[in-house]
Amino acid sequence: MSDKKYLITIVGPTAIGKTALSIRLAHEFDCEILSCDSRQFYKEMTIGTAVPDAEELAAATHHFIHNKSITDEYSVGDFEKEAIALLDHLFTKRNVAIMVGGSGLYVDAVLKGFDEFPEIDKVIREEITKQFEQHGISWLQNEVGSKDPEYYQSVDRQNPQRLMRALEVCIGTGLPYSSFRNRKKNTRNFESIVIGLDTNRDVLYDRINSRVDIMMREGLLAEAESMLPYRNYNALQTVGYRELFDYFDGKTSLETAIEEIKKNTRRFAKRQLTWFRKNPDVNWFDIGLDEEIVKFILQTIS
């Protein structure tokens, strides 16, 4: 193996088996794992975010799991800085590190930074549109003015589309929209090998449905109930909690809420696949081909 540094990144939809593969690769290359799942950062959330269990956490050194509170302000920009600093440290000890997760924006932040305007989850734009329809353009102007005063000085303040675009970037990345304009190209001191996991849709959806059933048996209902005082925090605007909040509000039955979790998780998985399939650097493998993946990586870095 050369002295080059390699970040092996495992991506794919939820419930596909990324955690198990990351541990297998960490053992193969005697290295540590960075979690790149934006829901697993928060220590108050365990069952609904499918955090690796105690045995999995003990099997390899993990970073960025339960390292923040849901009351903390933490952006993709913060994660990028912390992850790059950690990789700089890890690469002084080993030539390989593993990153694993399904949060596409966070993966992109580490692998290439933001050379251009990042793609933002459409859920954020939907929420901004709803607020604009309720409160009008003055709400948009106030939000952009507070989050990015520099851009606010130059933007056409009567153009809601431009204001919404700036605001979604501010919210989605935690960084001012203006900071992405005329940015210098990012450089990384490592080579990137991206492994994508996929499988037949029916198999994936069965895995998702099964995982939700397991989560309910393990106590997701009680975990969601304990989160009710924090339900308005960004960390909890996510599948698995919102549906159960509707149940607690009396808007739906528990059975319906569980079915909604399954349906919305399947939709989330489709969005993840759409995001990652746009990246031509992803090397796709079907699940269960661990030995082929190891062989591919060894050939790549040899």
pLDDT tens-place string over residues 85-112: 999 999 999 999 999 999 998 999 999 8
Does position 262 have pLDDT exceeding 70, yes or no? yes
Is residue 14 annotated as involved in ligand binding?
yes
Architecture of the domain made up of 122-180: Orthogonal Bundle (1.10)
pLDDT reported for residue 183: 66
Is residue 10 annotated as involved in ligand binding?
no
pLDDT reported for residue 115: 57
List, for residues 137-193, the tens digit of each pLDDT value. 999 999 999 999 998 988 888 888 889 989 999 998 888 988 887 666 678 999 999
Instruction: Provide the residue ranges of all domains of the chain, joining segments of one domain with +.
Output: 6-113+186-301, 122-180
Is residue 59 annotated as involved in ligand binding?
no
Enter the tokens of residue 164. Answer: 């919404």
Same fold, 6-113+186-301 and 122-180: no
CA–CA dist 81, 88 (Å, integer): 11
List, for residues 156-171, the tens digit of each pLDDT value. 888 888 899 899 999 9
Is residue 52 annotated as involved in ligand binding?
no
- % residues pLDDT > 70 (the chain): 97
List, for residues 24-80, the tens digit of each pLDDT value. 999 999 999 999 999 999 999 999 999 999 999 999 999 999 999 999 888 888 899
pLDDT reported for residue 3: 83
Average pLDDT value for residue range 113-118: 71
Is residue 16 annotated as involved in ligand binding?
yes
Architecture of the domain made up of 6-113+186-301: 3-Layer(aba) Sandwich (3.40)
pLDDT reported for residue 55: 94
Is residue 48 annotated as involved in ligand binding?
no
pLDDT reported for residue 185: 61
- % residues pLDDT > 90 (the chain): 76
